[in-house]
C-alpha cells in the first residue's frame, strides 16, 4: 500500500490496527477473552477523497472510525496522519494533550441526530462548541462562523437560538454537520450519517456532503451498511468482515469486478427497487456472522463461503494487491482464479 | 401485467375504505390516517410504502384494531374482511376487546413487527409463545401444540427446532428471532398477514434470507400480505401491488411494474428519483424532494404534497385532489390527472 511518508497525497495511513475489548467474568472481573472488534486493519486515505467503509453489524466499521478519532485507545497498530502543516504523527502514540492539535483536524458526524446533539444547548452553542473548546476566536467571530456554517448546510440563520428538539431528523443532521465543519477539519469520519433519515431527506444530506467536499476539499471516511449509498458517495470502498478488511478498491472496480466472495454475496443480497431484478437464491449466504470473540481459524469467511477449500480453513489470507498496480486489494486465497458476479445494475428511468 | 390489482369482488380479501385514525394529544390532533382506501387482493403481497409519519403503521394497527385508545381513535371508515366461504365481516363494527375480534386477530389476521427483540416476550420461551397462541385458537393439548410449534420453527428454517423451541428470545440472533416471530404469526395459518418493516432491523444478508423465506411461505400458505416498509428495494423485491402513502393518505396505487416504471404522482416520482441506484455512478447528484414533511399537527388545505411539489398549481393549494381511478385498477390522487 502507498506509504504516507513517500506519497504526499495520502492523508491517513492505518497499519495493522487492532482494537480488542476485554470480556470480564465473575466478581473479580477476570478477563476471560477478547472481542476482536478490529483485528489487523490496513488502509490509506487520499486527500480530498471519500473512502467508503461497508460491512454488516459487528464487522468493526464503527470501532475503526472511533479508533481513528482516538475516542478509543487501540490495542496495537499505527494510525499515521498528515497534519495540515505537513507533519506526520502516529495518533496511537499520542496522549490526551498531544491529541488536542489533531482533534480539530479530524471531526466526526454521528449516526443518530437525536442522541448526538445536547438537548440543553442551543444550535449556536452546539455548533460553536468545537471552537470554544479549542479556544478559537472570540464571541463575535464565533457567532459569525456559526451563521456562515448555517448558510453552508442550508439552515436559516434564524435557527441559531433554537434547541434541537425543534428540528426534524434531517435538520438535526445538518446541525451535526455544521458542528463538524466549524473547526475547518481535514478529515471527517461520517458514521452512518444518513441511515436514520427518510429517503427523500437522505438524498438532501448526501448531496450536501458531496457539495461541501467539492467546494472545500474535505476528506471523508464514510461508514455505512447501505451498499447503494456507499457506491454513490465513495471514490474507493473498503469491505469489512469480522474486524478485517477483505477487499479495498476503486468504487466502480469493486462493484463491477468484485474479487472477494463476501463482497459478491453482500452485493447479491441487496433487494433492488427495479422489480425486474429479483434476489438470486443461489447467492444467498447461510447462517450468521460468527462471534468476533472467537473468529474462525484460517480465512474468517470460510464458514459461510461457497468457494472455500481446505487451505482456506488452514491459513489466513492477507490483504494484497491483485495483478498489478495499487488499486485493488483483496484478502482471499482464491482471488486470482475465481470469476465473481458484479453487483446487479439497477435502472429506473423516472421523469421529473 | 396489471392483473395483480383486483378487478372483481371475489378477488378481494380485505378492503379499507375512508379510514381515518386520529390521535388526540395534549398538543392537538394528529391526523395520522386521514382517509385511506386500500384494496388487498387475495393471495397477493401489497407493499405499503412511505416515509416516517405517513400513517402506514397506523393503518396496519387500525386493521388489527390495535390502536391504543385513547389517545388514538378510529374516526371514520370501514374495513371489510371477506373470508372465502363466510359472510363478510365489518372489522370496525367489532369491539376490539371482545371475543369475535380476538378470534379474528391472531387466527385470520396476524402481524409481524419490526423489532423482534421488543415484540417477543423475553420471559417466555419461543415455544411457549407459539403454544399459547395455538391453544387459544385450536383445540390442542400442550404436547400436540408443542409438536406443532417445533414443526413451525422447522418451516421457518430454524435449525434444531426441537432444541430451540425451549430457548428464550435473548438466546437467538436477530435473524433467528425474526424467523421465530414469523413462525408465531403464521402458526394459525392466517389469511391476512401484516408485516410491519419486517427486515428493517436486520443486516442485508440476513434480510435477504428473511425475504426469501417470506416469499416461500407466501407461496406455500397462499397468505395475503400487507408489507409495510420505507425501503423501495424491499417493495421492488416482494410486492405485487404497491400503495404509496403521504401524510395520512394513499397518493398512488398500482401493480409493482406500473408503479416503478410509470409512476404518476409527483411524490412517487420524487421518491424513486431520490434513491441511489447501483451501477449509475455517472450520476453524481441525487434528486431529492425539496423541503420537508409538514408538521403532523397542521391541518393542510389542498393537496398535502403541494408545498414540495414541482408541478403545483393554484388549485393544488386550495382544493384537495380527488382519488382518480382508471379502469385497470390503478389510482392516483393528483390534480395533474383530473
Choosing among A60, A170, A203, which should be mutated to test the B contact, i.e. which has the most B CBs within 10 A? Answer: A203
Neighbours of A86 (CB within 10 A): 7
The closest CB to that of B204, out of A171, A270, A277, belongs to A270
Do the domain assignments include residue B202?
yes
**Complex-level ipTM beyond the 0.95 threshold:** no
In terms of CA atoms, which chain B residue is nearest residue A227?
Answer: B278
| Shortest distance, CA B295 to any CA of chain A (angstroms) | 10
Q: Taking 90 as the threshold, does the pLDDT of residue A315 lie above it?
A: yes
Least confident of A33-42, A60-69, A124-133, A287-296: A287-296
Q: What is the reported pLDDT for B7?
A: 62
Among candidates B204, B205, B236 on the partner chain, residue whose Cβ is nearest the Cβ of A274: B236
Select the residue of A198, A203, A267 nearest B230 (Cβ to Cβ): A198
In this structure, which long-range contacts are made by residues B37-40, counting pairs with CB atoms below 8 Å and at least 24 apart in sequence? B37/B250, B37/B323, B38/B243, B38/B250, B38/B253, B39/B5, B39/B6, B39/B12, B39/B14, B39/B15, B39/B253, B40/B12, B40/B13, B40/B14, B40/B15, B40/B16, B40/B192, B40/B224, B40/B226
Give the pLDDT of residue B1.
41
Residues 6+ apart with CB under 8 A from A52: A222, A223, A224, A230, A231, A233, A234, A236, A237, A238, A251
Q: What is the pLDDT of residue A319?
A: 93
- Name the average pLDDT for chain B: 88
**What is the mean pLDDT of the segment spanning A64-83?**
94
B238 with A271: Cβ contact below 8 A: yes
B288 pLDDT exceeds 80? yes
Give one DSSP letter per residue of B29-51, joined into a string: EEEEEEEEEEEEETT-EEEEE--
| Residue B211, pLDDT score | 92
Tens of pLDDT along B87-128?
A: 899 999 988 888 889 888 888 899 998 877 788 899 999 999
pLDDT at residue B27 greater than cutoff 80: yes
CA distance B106 to A25: 42
Q: Is the pLDDT of residue B270 over 80?
A: yes
Is B156 within a domain?
no
CB B280 within 8 A of CB B273: no
In a domain, B45, yes or no: yes
State pLDDT tens for residues B290-307. Answer: 887 888 888 888 999 999
Q: What is the mean pLDDT of residues B317-323?
A: 92
pLDDT in tens, A76-128: 999 999 998 889 999 999 998 899 889 999 999 988 878 889 999 999 999 99
Instruction: Write the residue in B206, B281, B287 that is nearest to A203 by C-beta.
Output: B287
Q: In this predicted structure, what is the pLDDT of residue A167?
A: 86
**Domain boundaries, position B242:** 9-108+190-275+286-337
Mind listing the pLDDT tens digit for each residue in A225-264? 889 999 999 999 999 999 999 999 999 999 999 999 999 9
Contact B278 A344 (CB under 8 A): yes
What's residue A352's pLDDT?
Answer: 66
Examine the pLDDT at B17 and tell me if it is beyond 90.
yes
CA distance A237 to chain B (A): 13
How large is the average pLDDT for residues A50-73?
A: 92
**C-alpha cell at position B189:** 395459518
Q: Do the domain assignments include residue B225?
A: yes
Instruction: Provide the pLDDT confidence category of residue A334 given band limits of 50, 70 and 90.
Output: very high
| B19 occurs within a structural domain | yes
B257 to A229: CB separation less than 8 angstroms, yes or no: no
- Dist CA B80 CA B138 (whole Å): 24
In a domain, B98, yes or no: yes
Helix (H) / strand (E) containing B241: strand B241-246
Q: How far is B92 from chain A (nearest CA, A)?
A: 31
Flag if A273 and B284 touch (Cβ within 8 Å).
no
Q: B176 lies in a domain? A: no
Please determine, for residue B32, whether its predicted confidence score (pLDDT) is greater than 50: yes
Q: How far apart are CA B77 and CA B19, in angstroms?
A: 4
Residues of chain A neighbouring B280 (CB-CB closer than 8 A): 345-347
Select from A228, A275, A349 the Cβ nearest to the Cβ of B236.
Answer: A275
Hey, are the CB atoms on B236 and A352 less than 8 Å from each other?
no
Residue whose grid cell is 479549542: A134
The reply to whether B49 falls in a domain is yes
Torsion (CA) B54, B58, B63, B69 in degrees, nearest 10:
-150
| pLDDT reported for residue B2 | 46
Total number of domains in chain B: 1
- Decide: residue B181, CB within 10 A, 0-12 exposed, 13-18 middle, 19+ buried: buried
With beta carbons under 8 A apart, name residues in chain B contacting A224. none
CATH number at residue B208: 3.40.50.300
**Whether the Cβ atoms of residue A4 and residue A10 lie closer than 8 Å to each other:** yes
pLDDT in tens, B230-268: 999 999 999 999 999 999 999 999 999 999 999 999 999
Amino acid at each position: 500500500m502507498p506509504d504516507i511518508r513517500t506519497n504526499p497525497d495520502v492523508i491517513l495511513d492505518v497499519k495493522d490496527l487492532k482494537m480488542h475489548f476485554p470480556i470480564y467474568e465473575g466478581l473479580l472481573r477476570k478477563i476471560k477473552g477478547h472481542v476482536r472488534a478490529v483485528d489487523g486493519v490496513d488502509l490509506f486515505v487520499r486527500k480530498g477523497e471519500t473512502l467508503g467503509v461497508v460491512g454488516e453489524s459487528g464487522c468493526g466499521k464503527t470501532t475503526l472510525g472511533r479508533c481513528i478519532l482516538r475516542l478509543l485507545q487501540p490495542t496495537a497498530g499505527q494510525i499515521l496522519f498528515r497534519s495540515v502543516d505537513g507533519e506526520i504523527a502516529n495518533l496511537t502514540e499520542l496522549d490526551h494533550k498531544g491529541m488536542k492539535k489533531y482533534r480539530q483536524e479530524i471531526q466526526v458526524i454521528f449516526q443518530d441526530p437525536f442522541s448526538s446533539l445536547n438537548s440543553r444547548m442551543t444550535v449556536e452553542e452546539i455548533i460553536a462548541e468545537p471552537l470554544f473548546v479549542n479556544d478559537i476566536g472570540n464571541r463575535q467571530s464565533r457567532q459569525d462562523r456559526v451563521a456562515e456554517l448555517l448558510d453552508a448546510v442550508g439552515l436559516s440563520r434564524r435557527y441559531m437560538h433554537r434547541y434541537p428538539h425543534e428540528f426534524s431528523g434531517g435538520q438535526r443532521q445538518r446541525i451535526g454537520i455544521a458542528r463538524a465543519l466549524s473547526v475547518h477539519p481535514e478529515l471527517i469520519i461520517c458514521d452512518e450519517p444518513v441511515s436514520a433519515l427518510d429517503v427523500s431527506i437522505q438524498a438532501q444530506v448526501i448531496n450536501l456532503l458531496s457539495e461541501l467536499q467539492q467546494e472545500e476539499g474535505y476528506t471523508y471516511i464514510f461508514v455505512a451498511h447501505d451498499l447503494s449509498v456507499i457506491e454513490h458517495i465513495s471514490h474507493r470502498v473498503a469491505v469489512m468482515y469480522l474486524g478485517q478488511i477483505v477487499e479495498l478498491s476503486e468504487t466502480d472496480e469493486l462493484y463491477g469486478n468484485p474479487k472477494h466472495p463476501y463482497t459478491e454475496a453482500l452485493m447479491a443480497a441487496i433487494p433492488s427497487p427495479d422489480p425486474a431484478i429479483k434476489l438470486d437464491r443461489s447467492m444467498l449466504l447461510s447462517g450468521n456472522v460468527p462471534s468476533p470473540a472467537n473468529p474462525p481459524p484460517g480465512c474468517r469467511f470460510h464458514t459461510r463461503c461457497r468457494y472455500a477449500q481446505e487451505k482456506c480453513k488452514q491459513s489466513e489470507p492477507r490483504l494484497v494487491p491483485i495483478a498489478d498496480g495499487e488499486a485493488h486489494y483483496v484478502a482471499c486465497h482464491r482471488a486470482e482464479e475465481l470469476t465473481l458476479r458484479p453487483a446487479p445494475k439497477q435502472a429506473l428511468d423516472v421523469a421529473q | 401485467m396489471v392483473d395483480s390489482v383486483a378487478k372483481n369482488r371475489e378477488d378481494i380479501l380485505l378492503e379499507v375504505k375512508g379510514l381515518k385514525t386520529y390521535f388526540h394529544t395534549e398538543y392537538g390532533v394528529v391526523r395520522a390516517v386521514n382517509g385511506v382506501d386500500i384494496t388487498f387482493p387475495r393471495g397477493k403481497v401489497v407493499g405499503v410504502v412511505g416515509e416516517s409519519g405517513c400513517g402506514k403503521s397506523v393503518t396496519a394497527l387500525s386493521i388489527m384494531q390495535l390502536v391504543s385508545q385513547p389517545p388514538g381513535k378510529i374516526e371514520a371508515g370501514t374495513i371489510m374482511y371477506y373470508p372465502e366461504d363466510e359472510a363478510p365481516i365489518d372489522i370496525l363494527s367489532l369491539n376490539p376487546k371482545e371475543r369475535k375480534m380476538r378470534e379474528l386477530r391472531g387466527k385470520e389476521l396476524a402481524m409481524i413487527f419490526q423489532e423482534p427483540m421488543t415484540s417477543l416476550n423475553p420471559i417466555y420461551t419461543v415455544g411457549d409463545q407459539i403454544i399459547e397462541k395455538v391453544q387459544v385458537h385450536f383445540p390442542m393439548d400442550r404436547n400436540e401444540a408443542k409438536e406443532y410449534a417445533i414443526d413451525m420453527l422447522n418451516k421457518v428454517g430454524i435449525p434444531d427446532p426441537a432444541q430451540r423451541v425451549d430457548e428464550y428470545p435473548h438466546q437467538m440472533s436477530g435473524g433467528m428471532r425474526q424467523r421465530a416471530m414469523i413462525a408465531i404469526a403464521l402458526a394459525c395459518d392466517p389469511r391476512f398477514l401484516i408485516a410491519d418493516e419486517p427486515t428493517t432491523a436486520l443486516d442485508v444478508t440476513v434480510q435477504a434470507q428473511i425475504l426469501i423465506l417470506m416469499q416461500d411461505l407466501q407461496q406455500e400458505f397462499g397468505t395475503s400480505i400487507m408489507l409495510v416498509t420505507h425501503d423501495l428495494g424491499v417493495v421492488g423485491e416482494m410486492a405485487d401491488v404497491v400503495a404509496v402513502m403521504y401524510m395520512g393518505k394513499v397518493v398512488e396505487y398500482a401493480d409493482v411494474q406500473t408503479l416503478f416504471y410509470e409512476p404518476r404522482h409527483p411524490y412517487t416520482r420524487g421518491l424513486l428519483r431520490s434513491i441511489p441506484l447501483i451501477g449509475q455512478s455517472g450520476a453524481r447528484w441525487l434528486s431529492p424532494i425539496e423541503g420537508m414533511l409538514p408538521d403532523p399537527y397542521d391541518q393542510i388545505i389542498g393537496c398535502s404534497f403541494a408545498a414540495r411539489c414541482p408541478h403545483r398549481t393554484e388549485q393544488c393549494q386550495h382544493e384537495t385532489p380527488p382519488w382518480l381511478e382508471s379502469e385497470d385498477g390503478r389510482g392516483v390522487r393528483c390534480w395533474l390527472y383530473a
